[in-house]
């Protein structure tokens, strides 16, 4: 069984009524939710970059159950500056590590953009106060801990988390996979599926992977 098949079964088994797509870029994950994860419920996608958000809104425009919000997410509300990468989806509020550019030059930054930062728990209370079973996807280029801290007030309603994790530092200050797993274990989640991701094209060493975690 591949990762998408596992995800579809995990989502169905928990009666998910809201999918939070954090770090949506142009809507790739929302499309995956519909086409491969077989999820037909409410999606809220969050994306701070101007260009990516415009593409996201276009992707979601024909789906009445798919809402888009133009913001970054973190542990405190305010403003910040995001580093915009050449490939767009690797853009981060953190600095990229020089070694990472040797693996993939397109993650290098070509500019910066001012962005609003909101807490996820505040937004969920505003947009979907009655939801009971949440699937949270995090693809925020090293900013996972801050997003989780900003979601503490709704984590009791989160039943599944899909998160991208690093096996070596791609972004300065990001949590590596061991620390991320420990943090999520403390918050009450266990690993139920894994998907290998980005690898060093020369050595074959795995650099990043996706984890699916379920509430214990």
- What are the sequence ranges of the domains in the chain? 3-73+120-215
Give the list of residues 6+ apart from residue 8 with CB closer than 8 angstroms, or none. 36, 37, 38, 39
For the residues 12-34, what does the mean pLDDT come to? 97
Question: 39 phi and psi, to 5 degrees?
Answer: -100, 125
What pLDDT is recorded for position 101?
86
Name the CATH code of domain 3-73+120-215 (choices 3.40.50.11540, 3.40.50.150, 1.20.1050.10, 3.40.50.720): 3.40.50.150
List, for residues 54-70, the tens digit of each pLDDT value.
Answer: 999 999 999 999 999 99
For the segment 171-175, the average pLDDT, to the nearest whole number, is: 94
- Which burial class, exposed, middle or buried, applies to 174 when counting CB atoms under 10 A from its CB (0-12, 13-18, 19+)? buried
**Residues 86-105: b if buried by 16+ CB within 10 A, e if exposed:** eebbbbbbbebbeebeebbe
Q: Which among 25, 153, 147, 12 has a CA at the least distance from the CA of 88?
A: 25
41 has a pLDDT exceeding 90: yes
21: left (phi over 0), alpha (psi -120 to 50) or beta: beta
Q: How confident is the model at residue 29 (pLDDT cuts 50, 70, 90)?
A: very high
The tens digit of pLDDT for each residue in 84-139 reads 999 999 999 999 998 888 878 888 899 999 999 999 999 999 999 999 999 999 99
pLDDT, greater one: 102 or 163: 163
Strands (E), the chain: 18-22, 42-46, 66-69, 72-73, 78-85, 109-118, 134-138, 158-166, 189-196, 208-215
Pairing of strands 42-46, 18-22: parallel
Exposure of 77 by Cβ count < 10 A (0-12 exposed, 13-18 middle, 19+ buried)?
Answer: middle
Q: Which helix (H) or strand (E) holds 121?
A: helix 120-127
> How confident is the prediction for the chain on average, in pLDDT?
95
Residue that has been written with the tokens 């996807």 in this structure = 137
């Amino acid at each position: 069984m591949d990762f998408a098949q596992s995800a579809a079964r995990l989502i169905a088994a928990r009666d998910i009524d809201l999918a939070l797509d954090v770090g949506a870029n142009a809507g790739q994950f929302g499309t995956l939710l519909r086409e491969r994860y077989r999820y037909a419920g409410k999606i809220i996608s969050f994306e701070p970059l101007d260009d990516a958000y415009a593409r996201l809104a276009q992707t979601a425009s024909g789906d009445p159950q798919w809402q888009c919000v133009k913001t970054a997410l973190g542990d405190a509300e305010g403003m910040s500056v995001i580093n915009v990468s050449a490939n767009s989806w690797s853009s981060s509020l953190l600095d990229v590590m020089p070694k990472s550019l040797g693996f993939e030059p397109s993650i290098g930054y070509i500019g910066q953009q001012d962005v609003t930062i909101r807490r996820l728990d505040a937004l969920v209370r505003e947009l979907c106060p009655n939801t009971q079973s949440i699937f949270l996807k995090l693809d925020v280029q090293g900013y996972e801990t801050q997003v989780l801290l900003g979601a503490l007030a709704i984590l009791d309603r989160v039943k599944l988390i899909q998160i991208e994790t690093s096996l070596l530092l791609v972004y300065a200050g990001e949590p590596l996979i061991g620390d991320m797993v420990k943090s999520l274990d403390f918050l009450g989640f266990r690993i139920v599926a894994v998907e290998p991701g980005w690898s060093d094209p020369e050595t074959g060493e795995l650099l990043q992977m996706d984890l699916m975690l379920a509430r214990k």
